[in-house]
Structures are given as structure tokens and as C-alpha cells.
Amino acid sequence: MDDLRLDRWADDDHPHEECGVVGVWGSADAAALTALGLHALQHRGQEAAGIVSLAAGGQFHAHKGRGLVGDNFGDAQVIAGLPGRAALGHNRYATTGETALRNVQPLYADFEFGGFAVAHNGNLTNAHVLKRALVRRGCLFQSTTDSEVFIHLIAISLYTTVTDRLIDALKQVQGAYSLVALHNGALIGARDPMGVRPLVLGRLAQGGFVLASETCALDIIGAEFVRDVEPGEIVLIDDAGLRSVRPFGKTSSRFCIFEYIYFARPDSTVEGTPVYDTRKRIGAELARESAVGADVVVPVPDSGVPAAMGYAAEAGLPFELGIIRNHYVGRTFIEPTDQIRNLGVKLKHSANRATLEGKRVILVDDSIVRGTTSRKIVEMVRQAGATEVHMRISSPPTTHSCFYGIDTPERGKLLAAKHDIEEMARIIGADSLAFISLDGLYRALGRAGRDPASPGYCDACFTGDYAIPLTDQQDNSERPPSLLQAANQ
């Protein structure tokens, strides 16, 4: 039996992580720094990790494995086997393709210009259409991940330089992506034209550059944050320094709003805004919109903590850790029987009876997807003696699936897509339930509200406003089984 991540089936009430990417150029410790960066980005993917390094003479070295970064790169001998002054790495959370070693990134290929490795965060929304056309041309796919489409588009491009081939490939794909690539001459970073997925640029103290999904990966290796890679920008880093090309026309930025709510680590700065401060502002706005009589504000850890702090401060109520999270659940070989599934939430969270008994409790969490975990959390708090349980959510209701790199269920399994808020409160067993409004969320982000003509963020999971075409979803041709596994099919 494959080993099972307990938190995968103990907590299905949140959208799950995307992926994390790191690239380092110009350091003798490139692989070690990449591994540290991936460790900081572990929250973005826990299914697998991989690093490819580039040594002198154009020799590439790779190590990949299922599991956590520490499981794969905690051995000094593994790092020693990844020599060179450049490396790139990837944490995987599967949104397309099964978790098999062939799907673990970075992907690598030998071209006429030399070796080429690529790591990708996001989803291509026309991957099936492109893959079908490429297979008809004779391309042989070795994985079931949409990231391999980049490899084949580069391979068949008629352009001469690596950069022009990559631009040619990027102009054919649709979707949300942050991409880091490595070849004999340079480290390359790219974001999709709408900048849905994040990518930041940092500078190492001893010289050299870093590309990463979040600033927390820069912090752990002592790199200085330089700037965000801009939407539609391609940055090229080599021994001559840094240069930038912008092959796409001007487009409106639609950065993923869920990065602020849940995905990014609280100590990261996203698009110039500290995530921790933003989440506290979201909580304060939520308190203004949905005040209720209570004795204590309790976060659902860990993602609900900053919003609960903001809520408590605005409401003038005590903030207490009424639920304690067990951070050492990790892996388990326990077979997920129904009985064990029912215990899953208690293995990950436990009620702090001393702070809950006899209290009217406001529970603050970041989202409700299926409602299953929320129901168990509410029940746990009641069993600990709470007289009332009021649930407050620091995002609007999740009514639509994500097709841009976040693992959410199909729409029919989203609680908010089938029930109004009063029905949802009854289903999860709360005395009351409230979500922050969409305009309230935008106010917390420093805007007057959501401008439908120019939202500035991707909020399709709340609105159904998909800014990037969903070509594969509209394609009615028969699909191979591997592609039926794509997110939200």
C-alpha cells in the first residue's frame, strides 16, 4: 500500500497547495540553497520534490523523490551529488497527473543546444489541445503532467536561440504559470501575462541571483529581495548579470487573491504587501461586517490565526488558542478506514477545553470548501463545552472550481455552490456562519471595492469570472485517461 499523507484526507476543507519553485544562479552552494528554499516553500507542495543542478562543462545532475524536502535532501551526500553553481528545484502538489516519479519536476530534456530543465507552478488550460496536436506530430510524452508541454513546444520550435524558443512556446500556451528553467547558458524565470501565479527575484549576498515562488524562500538563504517578476516578463540570468524581455502585449494583472487569504506563508511579502498584515486587515473587515455577541475569538490553526487576531482586535474580544494543532502528524501508514477517517481531525487538531468551556466562541477560518472538516471542528468545540459556536470565514464563499493551479473539487462538491449560508450553517452545526464580502476582501487589500471592469485579482473561485480561456474545458474531443485527471475535471 502506498503511504498516505494523513493531512490530505484529514483536512479537505481548504483548497490545497499549488507548487513551489526555486532557482539559484552563481553560487558554489546552489543545490544546498535550492534545497533550503524548497524547505521554506514546503507549504506549497508535499507530495514530491526535485532538484536539477548544472555543473562545469554543461553537465546536469538530478535528484527527485516522493515525499518532503527533508526526506529527499536531508542527506549531505545527496547534495554533494548535485554539484555546480546553478540549480533549480520544485515542490510538487499534483493538480494534473498522478504522483509518480516520472511526474516529479524539474523535467529535463537534451536538445540540440544542450540540456534544458524546467519547473512549473500553475496549470495550462489548453494542455490537452496542445498535447493532442503534439502527439499527432510525433512527440512522445514521458509524463502525464501538463508541464511537459513546454518541453515539446521548445523542441519543435524553429527559432534559433533558447530564449526565442521559450518565447515561442509561451505564446502558444494558455493558463496560469510561474516557470523557472535552466540551460547551459542561463537561469530563466517567467510569469504568465496576467501574473496569476507568483514569482520573485532575489540577490545573494555573495553574488548571484535567486528566483522563488515567495519571499520566505529568499529569507531562509539570506538573499535580498529585489522585486517581483512582472506579469508577462521573462528574466534571464547568466554570468553577465540580469536582463529582461517582455514578449507579451500589455494585459491587466489578475494575481491570485487566494495567495493573500491562504496559500502564501504569513511571513512572505506578496506583490509588495506583507501577507501577515493583510490577513489581519481581512479579519478586522470581517468583524466589522459580521459582528456577533461572543466571549472569545478562536482561530482554526494555523491558517486562521492572523485573521482571528484582526477580528478579535476589531471586535474588542479576547483572542485565545482554543484549538491546538499537532504539527507532527506527518506521514502515516494507517489504513484510512471510516473509523480512522473520523478520527483524522482529532489527530491534527485538539480542543483546549480550558479556553472554550462555558464560552460563546467565534471560530475564524480562511475558507470552507466541502464543509466536512468545518463540521468536525464545530462539533469538537461544542464537545469541549462551548455554549455557542459562531463560524466566521476570511474569504467569500467558494462557489467555483479553480483551473489555474489550485486543487479544488469539482463544482458539484463545493458546499457554497449548492447551499445558501443559512443552510451551510446548519450543515456544519454552527449557531451562525458569515463570510467576508467580496467588496470587504478588496477593501482589506487597499481598494474601494471590487471593480468588475478591472478587478486586479483572479477571484474566479468566488465569482466564476475566469479571465484566462478554459480551452480544455470547452473541448469535447475524447481525452486520454491521464488527462482526465486534470484539476476539476
The string of DSSP letters for 429-468 reads T-SEEEE--HHHHHHHTTSSS--TT--SEE-HHHH----S
Active site residue 216: no
Assess contact for 311 and 325: CB atoms under 8 A: no
Euclidean distance between CA atoms 486 and 407, whole angstroms: 10
Closest CA to 177 of 187, 189, 166, 165: 189
The CA distance from 489 to 273, in Å, is 33
C-alpha cell read off for 285: 473587515
Number of H helices, E strands in the chain: 20, 25
Q: State the DSSP H helix or E strand holding residue 382, giving kind and residue range, or none if neither.
A: helix 372-383
- 3-state class (DSSP) for residue 61: strand
Name the residue with cell 536539477: 52
Task: Single out the catalytic residue among 19, 402, 458, 461.
Answer: 19
In whole angstroms, give the CA distance from residue 26 to residue 86: 6
Task: Take residue 105 and report the three cell numbers written for it.
Answer: 519536476
Q: Which of 23, 17, 9, 10 is nearest to 42 (CA)?
A: 17
Q: Are strands 432-435 and 388-393 parallel, antiparallel or unpaired?
A: parallel
Residue 125 grid cell: 488550460
**Beta strands across the sheet bearing 48-54:** 60-66, 48-54, 86-92, 20-25, 209-212, 200-203, 224-228
Assign 375 to helix, strand or coil: helix
Residues 479, 471: Cα–Cα separation, whole Å: 13
List residues with catalytic annotation.
Answer: 19
